Amino acid sequence: MGVPETSILLDEELYSRQLYVLGSEAMHKIQRAKVLLSGLRGLGAEVAKNLVLMGVGSLTLHDPNPTCWSDLSAQFFLSEKDLGKSRAEASQEPVAQLNRAVQVCVHRGAITEDLLLDFQVVVLTASDLEEQLKVGNLCHQHGICFVMADTRGLVGQLFCDFGEAFTVQDPTESEPLVAAIQHISQGSPGVVTLREADAHSFQDVDMVTFSDIEGMIELNGCTRPIRVQEGRTLEIGDTTTFSRYLRGGAVTEVKKSKIVNHESLATALLQPRVVVPGTQEIPRAHCLHQTFRALHQFQAHRGHPPQPWHPGDAQYVVELARALEPLQGIQEETLDEDLVRAVALCSAGDLSPMAAVLGGIAAQEVLKAISGKFTPLDQWLYFDALDCLPEDGDPFLRPEDCAPRGCRYDGQIAVFGAGFQEKLSCQHYLLVGAGAIGCELLKSFALMGLGTNGSGGITVADMDLIERSNLSRQFLFRPQDIGSPKAKVAAEAASRLNRGLKITSHIGPLDRSTENIFGDSFFSCVDGVAAALDNFQARSYVAARCTRYLKPLLESGTLGTQGSAAVFVPHVTEVYKGPRSDAASKGTTNPICTVRFFPSTVEHTLEWARNEFEGIFRLSAEAINRYQQAPTSLTDMDGPQVLSLLGTLGMPPKTWQDCVKWARGHWQLCFHDNIKQLLKCFPPEKVLEDGTLFWSGPKQCPQHLEFDANQDMHLLYVLAAANLYAQMHGLPGSNNRTELRELLKSLALPGPQPPALIFTSDLELGQTSITFGPEQLEELRKSLEVWNTGLPLKPLIFEKDDDSNFHVDFVTAAANLRAQNYGIPPANRAQSKQIVGQIIPAIATTTAAVAGLVGLELYKLVGGTVSLGAFRHSYLNLAENHLNRWVPFAPANQKFGNLTWTSWELLKVSAGPPEKTLEMLLTHLQEQHGLQVRMLLYGTEVLYSTRWCPDKQAQLLPLKVKELVQRVTGQVPEPGQQVLVLELSCEGEEEDTEFPPLHYEL
């Protein structure tokens, strides 16, 4: 039931972001798996896309039905040229193009028992109930994992049967708990004391394993249950006969597997176990369950689904649902006939956002079935977005409004009507970010017909180029696109999905540097903004532009199997609020002296190693090159830093042997000499004035290392450092470890090098920088002269995704040797790469589902929804089956004097004519709004302050505001600029008062 072993090679570069979610063991299982997918409408296309992008071994497509117009509203592998062709056959090649490592086949006959035996997982979409029961029962009988999914308009269902006693190897996405060990006692029970820096969440009877312990080595690799004691201590059983604990080591949680028992579809149909956010949602889920059963009966009786918005057909579905036998094992519930009717009225539709949400979740369930990674659904999930329909009180659509037109939007018109489709086509949206979510959104925009007519259109902005690691989740890109701009390629690919799409690409960022492009004129023509960005600073900037121009914002993001989608609507919801920077979102930066001399976590050692890379292989080369070009100027250099770096470089190398000798010497300096110097300054027994040991708390007393070429990490450091040193000097390197070991034997032990300066605080470190005087400047000049006669050096730019360049190898080895010095649990190469490269774990399933949730909110914006209760923020966790949606908060009111406002409000003041002077503007604000301005700002520049002396005020108050801005900033307003945005503070304001921006309209 698997792909032949000979075909399995895990492409770690392609799947790098996915590996951080699933792990290599799960990925190997996925690459051996064979999956049958029956049903290739919109939902089936989403499942196929996600599975192929994620590298399933083999995918067999089954759907002999002919392509029709209504398919094209959600099925992106098909187009007008495929009308009348088998959906599966027409989809095969476009599916295969996503990932040539996946075998994509088509099955043309019926689904038989013999066929099913060849697959690990079978997925049905768009099947009738008779087919679902037949295939589901055969799968249950033969131990084949079975997934059934369906969407009807704005409602979807998902069912999983992984059989009896299915083993879940890893139920959650969370990493195992790891804590550094301070001490282990000999006794019964032995007690482990954890370091103060490592707050832990271990629980009684957790199983843990031990590693990197010095002294009590009997525990290394040992797995034991624990009992949690007070403070930082754990009981671990008898250690009486073990060796005495010396130092170091880590305790790591062993994640527990669990057994899941699933019923067959035939049983679960009458005794449904539903996954819901809260118990209050259970009756609604049960009602939707009965509605789907009634829809199947309607199809069986009439031979077709209910007609779009046909009152008679909808009433018949209600009657069928009323007549169904009650569900077993639950308290009798009253059928919500209004809910059944609403589902039936729009059930003929096929919507791209709904297919994306259900397709993402369904594909993740397939991965769970294959790999045993994460918790499967138990067993039914119902998802409805009926909040997208017109609000209460609005007239219902008529059948003729939603009848098929013989166009690619028929599946969407069946839900929202032809008038809505016309509105949608005239919208102009800005999409910021063409990465994973951006590609998914562009796909949905193309299928929905956003911006295809009149003044409508889509502008997509992104500054990045396509990398190979993008291809496993950014499905608009192909291998031949690597190195090309994302915005351009994504726009072209979206146009191929819908030839009527009007789309423009911008290669560059959306920030202050492009406000001449994305300014007043641009935003005056935009109906809304969708942000698909991966850093908070960019998100906050885009949100601020939406607030300024009063444009709705669709915001989204993912982290592994977790994702969120949110909508921010002017004057209806709160504004976007996030940390101003990524550093703020992750906490404060580490103190320099902690990283250099007193690390206590592997993050500290990795930061130190990354700084080593930057200093030695980039900054020193750049300083030498600048001096070669202009040897008389040293003023633009960081003197103390460059002088320190040059001291580590020695003499220019001429051969590979010179590079190895340098690397071996630098190893000695970093992990032996500098540690001995540190302990000379601060001996292990040093006591502070208050009687406490200097080496206590987070300060871990280090030990120097002795070089051993037979230790892999020692050798890796020299290998990587020597190769990087060679690259910097334009010399050939080597990857031969055997020859390197022999060469190291013949090298003389490096002589002592000048010890590093040691500081106990960043304040002390900062004070020394000030003392860099003429003597040090002359020393710097002499050091640079040594390098002035050679060729320019090649500064190395850290690149995390090239596994052959030694960059990550150097950082991993350096960080782990540093961790050995301080007894800190090390990080493996993959962990080091993720932390140092700031890699965000990502997977196609989450991306698709999140983009679908965004698309649903877009429907509401286009429809002109103004009620807060209709909008939804969403959060999902596919690993643990959470999908929560809630109504956003309304904007908070602020009050000052007689003025009341929210974060969406603006103070608008016309410039004239005649144009106002500064004095006239201040008077206007006083008289019209009761605001006595204390300070007026344009950006960071002060235009007015009550603290100015009278002469300065007298000089500037008569100036016209536009003239004043030009004088203070030196800038002339951009052509077409319609507004100067000013900020003000006023007399009597509270500390937390934030006045609305003042729009001075030119």
CA pair distance 730, 793, nearest whole angstrom: 7
C-alpha span between 510 and 907 (Å, rounded): 25
Question: Strand 166-168 and strand 178-184: pairing?
Answer: unpaired
Q: Phi/psi of residue 998, each to 5°?
A: -95, 115
Element (H, E) at 777: helix 774-785
**Which of 855-883 are b and which e, b meaning 16 or more Cβ less than 10 Å from the residue's Cβ?**
bbbbbbbbbebeebebbbbbbbbbbebeb
| Cα gap 371→1001, rounded to integer Å | 60
CA distance 868 to 571: 10
| H or E stretch covering 565 | strand 562-568
- The angle that helices 352-371 and 24-32 make with each other, rounded to 10 degrees, is 100
230 class by beta-carbon count within 10 Å (0-12 exposed, 13-18 middle, 19+ buried): exposed
Q: 428-432 and 528-531: which strand pairing?
A: parallel
Residue 219's Cβ-count burial label (10 Å; 0-12, 13-18, 19+) is buried
For residues 892-926, one letter each, b for 16 or more C-beta atoms within 10 angstroms of the residue's C-beta and e for the rest, the string is eebebeebebebbbbbebebeeeebbbbbbbeebe
Token pair 């708990």: residue? 177
Which two three-digit tokens encode residue 541? Answer: 């900037």
Contact between 841 and 826 (Cβ < 8 Å): no
Cα–Cα distance measured from residue 487 to residue 806, given in angstroms and rounded to the nearest whole number: 31
Q: Among 400, 502, 488, which Cα is nearest to 449's?
A: 502
593 is catalytic: yes
Rg (CA), the chain: 33
Give the bridge partners for 123, in sequence order.
37, 147
Distance CA 759, CA 960 (A): 54
Give the strand pairing for 553-559 and 562-568: antiparallel
Catalytic residue among 439, 546, 593, 681: 593
Integer CA distances (angstroms), 141 to 115, 119, 445, in order: 14, 14, 42
- Rounded to the nearest angstrom, the gap between the alpha carbon of residue 490 and the centroid of all alpha carbons in its chain is 19
Q: List Cα–Cα distances, 622 to 596, 617, 645, 656, 900, in angstroms.
A: 23, 9, 11, 22, 55
Question: How far, in Å, CA of 725 to CA of 515, rounded?
Answer: 42
731-736 contacts at long range (C-beta below 8 A, 24 or more positions apart): 731/653, 731/654, 731/655, 731/656, 731/659, 732/656, 733/656, 733/659, 733/806, 734/656
Handedness of CA 91, 95, 97, 98 (dihedral sign): positive
Q: Are 238 and 190 in contact (CB under 8 A)?
A: yes
* Residues assigned a catalytic role: 593
